[in-house]
Amino acid sequence: MKCQASAMPLRPNTTKTNVLLLGVTGGIASGKTTVANLFADLGAAIIDFDIIARQVVEPGTPCFGEIIEFFGQGIVDIDGHLDRKMLSGIVFEDKEKRKKLEGILHPRIFDIFISRTNEITKNDPDAIIQAVIPLLFEAGLQHLVHKTLVVYVPREKQIERLIKRDKITGDQAAKILKAQLPIDEKAGMADFVINNENALDETKGQVEELWQKLKQIQAIP
């Protein structure tokens, strides 16, 4: 079975509900997961595209088979899993191969996103659902959600947290950042921005404020 769908899917159909889909994005290590968890504490659901992207390439899945067919057995590690780091390295250097990989992964990821949204909506037609999508703007996926939120930290702080968390050098961190849209640019494209530069309590205050705003948006008929 092929895992590719024929067309780019649109946003999940939430028209007969009061569901609000919030696309949560930012730069690497800017605090997307941290902020999404703070919203979850207030009652929001989370659909994390990074987690889905890992699930769809587990051994035995249709996407796993298609990736090996195209990239070869060398892309499988000794445990039989996809070597995601090697694959990232290959597509980082080769635009055509990146497009091929996206063509395999994206339709399956979107299918899962739609089915999870439908599942959550069935249980709670007033849900606020966070779609955590690291490369939302780079991939032009704004159409999948109603509103977008950028979790912002200044570039220097982003590099500092990335080095600390992933135990990498400053040069490696700078190279990773270079492959993404600058975070200031993303902030300018978003409906909402949360500044996660300071202590977590300060971020929490902004999350609570935005939560009230989202509830007000939902209340508008």
Binding site residues, ligand ATP, CB under 6 A: 26, 28-34, 134, 161, 165, 196, 200, 203
**Contact indicator for 134, 25 with CB cutoff of 8 Å:** yes
Q: In the complex with ligand ATP, which residue's Cβ is closer, 53 or 217?
A: 53
Q: In the bound complex, what is the minimum distance in angstroms from residue 192's beta carbon to ligand ATP?
A: 16
Q: What is the Cα–Cα distance from 14 to 184, expressed in whole angstroms?
A: 31
**Contact indicator for 147, 192 with CB cutoff of 8 Å:** yes
Give long-range contacts, CB 8 A cutoff, 24+ apart: 167-172: none
Give the three-state DSSP class for 198. Answer: coil
| DSSP assignments along 23-58, one per residue | EEEESTTSSHHHHHHHHHHHT-EEEEHHHHHHHTTS
**Contact indicator for 162, 173 with CB cutoff of 8 Å:** yes
Q: In the complex with ligand ATP, which residue's Cβ is closer, 16 or 178?
A: 178
Q: In the bound complex, what is the minimum distance in angstroms from residue 169's beta carbon to ligand ATP?
A: 17
Q: In the complex with ligand ATP, which residue's Cβ is closer, 4 or 198?
A: 198
Q: In the bound complex, what is the minimum distance in angstroms from residue 202's beta carbon to ligand ATP?
A: 7
Q: In the bound complex, what is the minimum distance in angstroms from residue 161's beta carbon to ligand ATP?
A: 4
Q: In the complex with ligand ATP, which residue's Cβ is closer, 34 or 172?
A: 34
The amino acid that residue 216 corresponds to is: Q
Q: In the complex with ligand ATP, which residue's Cβ is closer, 106 or 161?
A: 161
Using alpha carbons, select from 166, 186, 187 the residue that is nearest to residue 176: 166
Q: In Å, how far from its chain's centre is CA 60?
A: 24
Q: In the bound complex, what is the minimum distance in angstroms from residue 7's beta carbon to ligand ATP?
A: 29
Q: In the complex with ligand ATP, which residue's Cβ is closer, 3 or 52?
A: 52
Please say whether the dihedral angle defined by the alpha carbons of residues 208, 14, 220 and 195, taken in this order, is positive or negative: positive
Q: In the bound complex, what is the minimum distance in angstroms from residue 137's beta carbon to ligand ATP?
A: 14
- Tokens standing for 203? 């971020």
